[in-house]
Structure 1
Amino acid sequence: MIQLRALSAIRLSVRTDETTSPARQRAANSAEAARRGAVVVGEAEDLDVSATKTTPFDRPELGAWLRRPDEYDMIVWWRMDRAVRSMADMAELGRWAKAHRKLLVFAEGPGGTPMELDMRTASPVSELIMTLLAFSAQMEAAAIRERVTGAMAVLRAQGRYAGGLVPYGYEKIANPDGPGYKLAPDPDAVEVLSGIVRDVLNGDSLTAVAMRLNDEGVPVPRDHQAIKAGREPGGIRHGRRIERFRWTAGTLSKVLRSPALLGHRTHQGKTVRDHDGSPVLIGVPVLARDVHDELQDRLNALTPQRNRTRKDTRALLLGVAQCTGCGGNMYLSNRAGGADYNCRATARGVKCDAPAGMRADWLEAYVTDEFLRGVGDMQLTRVVTHKGYDPTSELREVEAELRALYADRDMRRSATGRRIWQEEVDAMERRAEALENTPRQESRTEIVETGETYAAYWKRHDTVGRRQLLRDAGARVVVAKGRSGGGAERLAGPDRSRLKFSIGEHDDPAKATEAALRLKLNN
């Protein structure tokens, strides 16, 4: 008697599902193959693969095995739903098995007993059973989806927490209106977020803010949630040492760009919408809409671009110090015992008739004194733009989601899938129509006092922040070429007659206008 060759097929939609774990499926398949006197010659293990979204032929491992039908005689699954969840997929698999004369086996069929579909011979009974079981599997999949969707919809309609990751800025609390939980602003996280938003809007880079948070020992979002739940913060283990997670510019950008700050429920970083296309809310917004929009504008302005000022240089006067001879910028260069600012016209392919140079400590001290003497006591202001009521940004989001939905149309093969697709499209179309009919209010700008003087801002910032302040204020120092030799200057200190300092278009800092001194956060 020829021994049958069996292929053990394993599938799991969610890798962490213990009830249908790969080990359990593998054991059931092996036991059934042994009961039939077959030897397992291979295994097709597809994890994190949904049967409702992929056919057996589209799955990475099973699909590869199905293209090599001569290597086995039968395929064993634990249950029917591990193979297919739609009648169309079952019909396709049945045609393949009939064409290649294969035996399809399920270790646990209806009632828990093994079941086989012998497609090696023309058997109308096997095909009928296959169709009925496929119909049952498809109905079960639809019922599960509807139960989950219905349960989630009920929870959201009641404003209750439906599970999943709690966005940073919120915490899970007991529902005061009934059973379950709700999300509410987390006072500790909101305080941290307020400081982050304030610093970013005041001109700090995300890297600088991240460094400050790390220096202050502020836990990252995942550790904050762990601490709130009474668990130990995470980290990367290096032997006996654990390196805790730290804030980065990327972490900050992800938190600050999340629509959850507006109180929106999100999925894969996008706003979840109801049947009318309106955002589904998780609770009270952490940020007001105008602050959120201003923050997004600032973050967009921080996107890396060409010809931006270098952040890795310690040159305070980069973009501030200029050579009188050619009008070009002066650059910091090191030398034995110190550093100098020099004209580098030749590096730009330009000839300078009077290239200037001066000791860095002299020039930086001079500019610092002149700048703070002129404007140090003045209050720093910033320009705030109020966008009013402008549906343009949300309309773009709806348009992108509609485009994605229309591209997904041909993927919905079942009637149920097409119905759900149409419902999603109708909801987004209604939302788009509502936004198109929403009147647009013109934006306006205002100058807001920060409550901080230029001197105080200067004191609490490093070289990068101070340089940006000088540049935003329009500060310039023009340096003329010194006398040959320069011995007297080295002994007596800097020759200030070679220097001309200005803010904006004013030679006298005391006469500089507010417009020239305004901190332009979008630069």
Structure 2
Amino acid sequence: MGKRTRTRVAAEQRQYSVEAEWTAADLALLRDLKKAESLLPDDAPRALLSVRLSVLTDETTSPARQELDLRILARERGYRVAGVASDLNVSATKVPPWKRKELGDWLNNRVPEFDVLLFWKLDRFVRRLSDLSTMIDWCLKYGKNLVSKNDSIDLTTTAGKIMVTIIGGIAEIEAANTSTRVASLWDYTKTQGEWLVGKPAYGYETADDEAGRVVLVINKDASRALRWCRDAALREKPASARRMAKVLVRAGLCGPGLTTSTMIRRLRNPALMGYRVEEDKNGGVRRSKIVLGGNAKPIRVADPIFNEDEFKSLQDALDRRGKNQPARSPLGATRFLGVLICDDCDAHMTVQRNRVKERDYAYLRCGKCKAGGHGAPNPHEIYSKFVEDVLKVLGDEPVMTREYRQGAEARKDQQRLEQSISYYMTGLEPGGRFTKTRFTKDQAEKTLDDLIKQLEAMDPESTQDRWVAVHDGKSFRERWEEGGMEAMADDLLRVGVKCKIKRTKVKGVRAPHIHMKLMIPKDVRDRLILKEDDFAEAF
């Protein structure tokens, strides 16, 4: 039976990317809207425009149209546009607002810069009722408002809050129906011997048979790579998965991003016997298992790359190789990963373990130097010295937490004081109400002086929405003593602290000389400030 392959080119396999296209008329309207915006008073409410799109089609509203409609709405309501958060090719069902690249940055880091969040339609903003509830709570906490161009949404009224909940529920039902249809299709596909939808397992590609149906066929290059790996695993001195990946990348049979874990997952996939499989997650390990049909037998969807005996012998070889490896620590093999780096190649230092005659040996190596550079034994000694150096420099720094302060109350006080001062100044003018008697004039002048002092004592920053750093009473030494190395590693990685490890060969000595250089950013105090994750409980 003749087949013609229809493997897609790399460009077609990339994630779809949308670029907003502005016409001359759109740009002219944009200039007019910005010109009108420049006439607004300085204290006009600031609006953040949220533009989102999953896939651009003839039926969808383009990003340019969404932005223009929202700018028109902002002009009608007297809002000044503080910025545009444009997240294109993003699913509202899969990605909540605070996880989107641009909108998430505004919600997590730029809260003081806007007062109201505008979006074109609620389903352009969220599609899950739980996400909507989280955003409503967030807006109430920070004093923000949600406004939709095409829905009756306004969090400043009770009716608006009820309406936004109802509309959000409808949007979630629509998303759930779509999810149900997709899940039903996948469940049906798993029971069929024909290939209907989905990405083929490594080693196979789709093709059209003579009848025009989609079938799976063996990819020659991938099959060649898999067979070489099996032969390498069955040698008297078997090759490691890491060695296999390097050889295949160097030979051009696999891409440069091939990792050891991906290599092992490919070799352990029972789909190589031509069977239909599904993902099986067990303890965080990704594997595939065979799908059984109605007759309790595996469903064959393609010709096998390995027969059952060949596949079993490959698995036995991989098992023997795996048993020689030390058990993984639940906290990871390397402490301070991403903080400790090689002085020669700037690659991350990682712990590599070997077992010789039932004894484990650990070495700290890098990723780019030849053979990992000079192996530094006793990683825990390096950790201890590193912790000691960090505590000397940063241990006494106070733990500061970022808190949000709203300036609405301070602005009201400022306005009240200014109005009162204006009232008394007018009354003290010649012929004013406070100039009729000496007593009323003296009392008014005294009151005016007190009001002016109160106004001068006000901190101008207190009238602005802002972040402030508040000390929680602890030092970082105390914080790290409670949380251990894991807490210190998280903080140092977040702050950007690095430590360069230089290994120098010493003549006649197997272990190299270790020199450590601690690198602290100049703005480390600002970076150390802890930022509360307002959306952590949403997961």
Please state which band the TM-score falls in when normalised by the shorter chain: 0.3 to 0.5
- The normalised TM-score by structure 1 is 0.42
Question: For the pair shown, which has the larger CA radius of gyration, 1 or 2?
Answer: 1
Q: Give the alignment's TM-score, normalised by structure 2.
A: 0.41
